Structures are given as structure tokens and as C-alpha cells.
Amino acid sequence: MNLRLLRYLPLVIVASLFAGLPAWAEDRVSLTGEAIQGGIIIGTTEPGTKVILDGEPLMVSDRGRFLFAFDRDHEGAVHLDLEYPDAERESLSIEVATREYDVQRIEGVASKYVSPSAEQLERIARDRNLKRTARPTDTARDWFADEFIWPVNGVVTGTFGLQRFFNGQPRRPHYGVDVAAVTGTPVAAPAAGIVRLAHPDLYFEGGAIFLDHGHGLISVMMHLSRVDVEVGQQVEQGEIIGAVGATGRVTGPHLDWRMYWRAAHVDPALLAGDMPTPKPLERPTEAP
Ligand SMILES: [Zn+2]
């Protein structure tokens, strides 16, 4: 199912494209997005409706918007139960398609990033705590339902989900999308949000910003040369929040844009859609 295409269809038609959706439900809930691993589904229903995903309640905004998403390795169908304000109920079952992930081998990574020392491991553990507390799951804003834009225009050099080897050693999959751009290129907020972390130098991520789009959807911008925002600040879509750099575990300047929904790693490219025609780079860059 193609998100770009769906955006131009009336919501009622979008809802009917989902497998298992009863025809009589079409005017009470609609879902847009791709039901695939790493996919993000945005729902619209009547304000005051209770929405339950696999037994867990989802936040529903005043506008009736809600969100759920599928991890890189999600397996199987999900079940959505809705209870409308008039107490009528319905249940939907959504099949989640699997994806194939390519292997990416990156050589020439500094050894401190591949085999950190005990001291460096302590710093990595401290960073992990900072990052965990920067991902609230209950922010009552529904900016996630607005159309996302790319934070930087450029050549995509790494896609979501790649299985990675650094200097020949297997490491965690690549959870972001990499966009090559020269150091100093402005990074824009892909949607409105509240800054939850603004750090000049995390061990792996380098300069990093966590941006909270509401209901647990968090954008992460990594390897920044400059961080222009502060924790707690609210930014609008398109506002410049920092600049591309080559900080942290990189082999060249690029933006790595990641996205979490609750504990799941999800694919930002599915929200941002096709990259606008990139401007030519001023010089060649290599980006993991
Ligand atoms: Zn990356």
C-alpha cells in the first residue's frame, strides 16, 4: 500500500483498503499508512472513542487522532478494538507485511566505536539513560498526524533496517535513514514537536536532538555539528533545529534520522515520502 497515493484519497476510501475492515465501519474510523515492518499507522475517529491495540489503550486526541506502529522485526497481525462514544464497538485485524533488509558493510570505522574500552562503555551506559528518559510515551499532542517533511534534502545513503557490519563485525541493525549532506547544512524539524534531548556530543550519536511529536512518536537527529534548540522548547515544522555534521560513529558528514514509537524502531521515510530532488553536493561525501 502506498502512503503517498493514500494521502490523496478521501479518508473513507483509505479505510476500505485495509483488509478485514467491515464496510459499515468506514464512516467511523479511518487509517492511513503502511501495514509493514517499520510502518506507522495514523488513525482518525470520533473524539471520545476508546481505542485498544492488542489489549493496550492508545491515546486518542481531541481531534480523534491516534497512532500505532510496527517494529523493524514485528511478526504477525495486530488487533484494534474501538468503543465509540455511543458504546458501539468494533474490532479490526490488520496483517503486517514483512520486509527484506539488505546487509551493509562499513570499513574504516574508528576502533573506539567498534570495540569501546571499559571507560567508554560507562559513558555509553550514561548516554543510554539520557536517551531513555527523553522518550515520553504520553505527550498529549497530535502533531504526528500532520504531513512530515524531510529535515534535509540530499542523497539517501542508508535505509531503515539494514543489517550492519562495522570493520567486519556484526552490530545492531541500522534503525535510521541516512541523508548525505555537507557539514553545516541546516536541519529542519520534520513536524512540530517538543525538544526532549539536545546534546552536543553523545558517544555514538554525536550531536543529537530528540523531538517529541506526541503520543510516543519521537524523531532523533544524529551526528549534528550544531544543536540550535533547548530541552522543553516547542518547534514548528520546518524550523531550523541544528546542522548536519560528522560527530559520533560516522565515516563522513550526514544526517541520521531515526524514529521511535514507544519501544519500537520505525521508519521515518514512510512518513516523509519521496525525497524532493536533491541539490548537488558541493563535494563528495561518504556516509554510513
Ligand atoms: Zn545512519
**CATH, residue 237:** 2.70.70.10
In a domain, 286, yes or no: no
Ligand 1 centre from 96 Cα, in Å? 25
Q: Looking at the chain, list the stretches that DSSP marks H as alpha helix, in order from N- to C-terminal side.
A: 3-7, 11-17, 111-114, 118-133, 268-272
Ligand 1 centre from 104 Cα, in Å? 11
Q: Do both 64 and 117 map to the same domain? A: no
Ligand 1 centre from 165 Cα, in Å? 13
Ligand 1 centre from 173 Cα, in Å? 10
Please list the pLDDT of the chain residue by residue as tens digits (288 residues).
344 434 433 333 344 445 444 444 457 999 999 999 999 999 999 999 999 999 999 999 999 999 999 999 999 999 999 999 999 999 999 999 999 999 988 888 888 888 899 999 999 999 999 999 999 999 999 999 999 999 999 999 999 999 988 888 888 899 999 999 999 999 999 999 999 999 999 999 999 999 999 999 999 999 999 999 999 999 999 999 999 999 998 889 999 999 999 999 999 999 999 998 755 555 555 555
* Domain of residue 18, CATH code: 2.60.40
Q: Do both 141 and 261 map to the same domain? A: yes
Across the beta sheet with 89-94, the strand order is: 56-58, 50-53, 78-83, 89-94
Sign of CA dihedral 263, 264, 265, 267: negative
Q: Do both 90 and 144 map to the same domain? A: no
Strands 217-227 and 240-244: antiparallel
Q: Do both 86 and 107 map to the same domain? A: no
Ligand 1 centre from 175 Cα, in Å? 7
User: Cβ of 237: how many Cβ atoms within 10 Å?
Assistant: 16
Find the domain containing 109 and state its range: 103-272
DSSP state of 134: T
Percentages helix, strand, coil for the chain (3-state, rounded to 5) are: 15, 35, 50
In a domain, 249, yes or no: yes
In a domain, 11, yes or no: yes
The C-alpha cell 544543536 sits at 227
Ligand 1 centre from 138 Cα, in Å? 27
Domain final residue, candidates 94, 122, 148: 94
Q: Do both 28 and 110 map to the same domain? A: no
Domain final residue, candidates 69, 94, 119: 94
Task: Quote the cell numbers at residue 212.
Answer: 517529541
Sign of CA dihedral 114, 118, 119, 122: positive
Ligand 1 centre from 211 Cα, in Å? 17
Ligand 1 centre from 158 Cα, in Å? 6
Residue 226 sits at φ, ψ, to 5 deg, of -150, 140
**Per-position DSSP letters for 233-261, written without gaps between them:** -EE-TT-EEEEEB--SS-SS-EEEEEEEE
Q: How many domains does the chain have?
A: 2
Ligand 1 centre from 281 Cα, in Å? 18
Per the CB < 8 A criterion, the answer to whether 128 and 199 are in contact is no
Ligand 1 centre from 220 Cα, in Å? 11
Q: Do both 54 and 137 map to the same domain? A: no
Q: Do both 89 and 225 map to the same domain? A: no
Nearest CA to 223 out of 288, 126, 128 is that of 288
Q: Do both 88 and 119 map to the same domain? A: no
H or E stretch covering 266: strand 264-266
Domain final residue, candidates 94, 126, 159: 94
